[in-house]
Structures are given as structure tokens and as C-alpha cells.
Structure 1
Amino acid sequence: MEEYAARFDDLFVSLAQRRGFREYLTGLLAPRDRNKTITCLAGAEPVTGAGLPTVQRLQFFLSETAWDAGKVSDRRLELLREQPETTPHDSGVIDIDDSGDRKDGTATAHVGRQWLGRWGKTDNCVVTVTTVWTAGRVYYPLHAQPYTPAHHFPRGRSDPAFRTDGDPRFWL
């Protein structure tokens, strides 16, 4: 993993950021049940582990330090295309998928009453639309974009910034 992570070092300005990236990457790749939470990514218990230094460092890296997630994703795709096993070819397909995560309350960005396919109902959630490239056993994400419901915009559906996942401008 160190060899792979080192290929991103030039995208971070400090040693602390490079270490944060490695901790984040380790958390994403570790076989854990709750890999969507900061505490799990840091390998800590939920709630009781939230104040641990490892969790706080990772939280700071993800939310407070300045680094370009787009450049990191571009590098990730560049590295995938370099390998014969993961480079796109004519036998692969691009898949577009939306998935939702239930949320209590309304404080989380992009939350709203939306269709949750896996639950078979409309509920309070955040929906993320992803594109992935796949061919047989090779599968990797290309792009992910949270869907922002109309009520988050001043003019609702008529707001020029509002996009649906069927709108090509959604992906720009």
C-alpha cells in the first residue's frame, strides 16, 4: 500500500496530509463493517472512540485541510489505466447507479425525501449517483456526485443550479 500511496504524495503539501491520506486509504481498504463512518475508518469504536487522536486527525484531514479530491481521483484513474488488468477496453461497460443512505433530521448536506430503492420507499436520505466501469471481475468507480433535492435551492426546481441525475449538466 505504501508504494501505491507514495504515487499521490505530490498532491499533498505537507507530511501531515500525506499521513492523513495513508490513514484514510488504510481505513477504506480494511475489511470493516462500518467503513462509511470516521470512527470505523480510523479503526475506533463508534461514539466512545470519536474523541481519540486517530479519529480527530482523520476528521481534520478530510474536512479541514486543503487538498483537491478531484486531482486525487484523477490520479487514481490514471494509475488504473496504466495496468493491463484494469485499463478500459471494448468488452467493458459504464454503469450508472444511484444509491441512498437513510438520514435522521435535515442538517446533513443533500438530505431530503427521496426514493430509496433498496428499501422500496421514499424516505429522508442522501442519494449519490455513481458511474463505474466494469468488465467481468474488474470494477472501479469513475465518478460520484451527491444529488441535491430541489428544496435546497432558493427557486426550487426552477433554480438554474438545480440538476437531476438525467441532466447531462449534473455530471459537469
Structure 2
Amino acid sequence: MAAVHSIDPARWQDRFEVLTGRAAGRFARVEPRRRARALVLGLLSELPRKNCWTLAEHAGGATPDGMQHLLSRARWDADAVRDDIRGFVVEQLHHNDAVLVVDETGDLKKGTATVGVQRQYTGTAGRIENSQVAVYLAYSTPGLSGALLSFVKYLHSA
């Protein structure tokens, strides 16, 4: 049975503010920086569906325009943000036996309206199907059961 770890909300909020503060300078303007923070909070939320509409609504927006702008046109250094996050994770969770787990997962889809959906091979079905493929990264240590941090690659490639 996996160990259960309690989360101190105040400490979590403090660490989140440190992390977002570290990456703040990677954005050319304050609006994309605030929107990126709201995007991450939305992705970490318990929303049943996560897309630009639901994430924008979760952040108090009336339309998905701001989230779509962040992911497609806003000026920010995604590579530097990735490096800032990696540095933070290493500082906070450093363990000599830690591993980075990369998992490519295909989700079968019926329509074609979702970003990245096309006919492609997916191991989920074991054949070419209409699907969306995502790459997940997780930092895992022996003392902390399972994945601690998970990012969807589309943040960088969307």
C-alpha cells in the first residue's frame, strides 16, 4: 500500500508562489505571466475537463481568448520556464536515486475537434486509430511513492 502524505495548504501555496516568482521574468508582459499561473492552477484543479474554455472559466475569464493567446501567440521563453521548474524540483525534492519517468500515452478520440487528434498509431489500441497522443513527465523518488510532478508536453508545443 502506498504511503499517504498530507499536504499543508499554506506551505504548498508558499512553494507555488516561489516557483511562479522564479519563472516570472521569462514572460515579456505581466498578463501572460498571470495567465500562465492561472493555467497551472487550473491544470492542477479537479476540473472534470481541461481545455482553454474550462481553464479560462476557472480563472474567472469570460472567454478562452486569453488562454489561447498564451499558448499560441504570447511571448515567453518556454525553455527557460522548463529549466526553472526543473531547478526548483531538484532543489525541493533532490534524491540521489530519483528518476525522470517519460510516458507517451494515447487517448482514443471519436471526433477531430480536440487539438492533436488524428489517425495515428497508439499503444492504447495497438493499432492506428483516431487518437490524441500526450507525453507526460514525472519526477519520482523511492521515498515518495509514484509521480510527484506531471507536465503535459502540449504546454511547450501547443
Scaled to the shorter chain, the TM-score interval is 0.5 to 0.7
Tell me which of 140, 143, 152 is aligned to 2:149.
140
User: CA contact under 8 A between 1:132 and 1:143: conserved in structure 2?
Assistant: no
In structure 1, the residue matched to 2:5 is none
Does the alignment pair 1:18 with 2:33? Answer: yes
Match of 1:66 among 71, 75, 79: 75
Answer with 18-27 or 101-110: which moved more: 101-110
Name the aligned partner's letter for residue 4 of structure 1. Answer: L
Q: How many residues align?
A: 134
Name the SS for the 1:133 alignment partner: strand
AA aligned to 2:28 is V
Rounded Cα–Cα distance in structure 2 between residues aligned with 1:3 and 1:112: 41
Task: Name structure 2 gaps, 5 residues minimum.
Answer: 1-15
**1:113 counterpart letter in structure 2:** Q
CA RMSD in angstroms comes to 3.1
Q: Determine which of 75, 79, 82 is the counterpart of 2:88.
A: 79
Aligned to 2:84, the other structure's residue is in SS state helix
Q: Tell me the CA shift for residue 140 of structure 1.
A: 2.6
Structure 1 portions without partners, runs of 5+: 45-50, 146-172
Larger Rg: 1
Structure 2 equivalent of residue 42 of structure 1 = 56
TM-score, normalisation: structure 1: 0.62
Q: TM-score, normalised by structure 2?
A: 0.67
Amino acid at match of 1:125: S
Distance 1:34 1:133, change over 3 A: same
In 2: Cα distance, 1:31 partner to 1:106 partner: 23
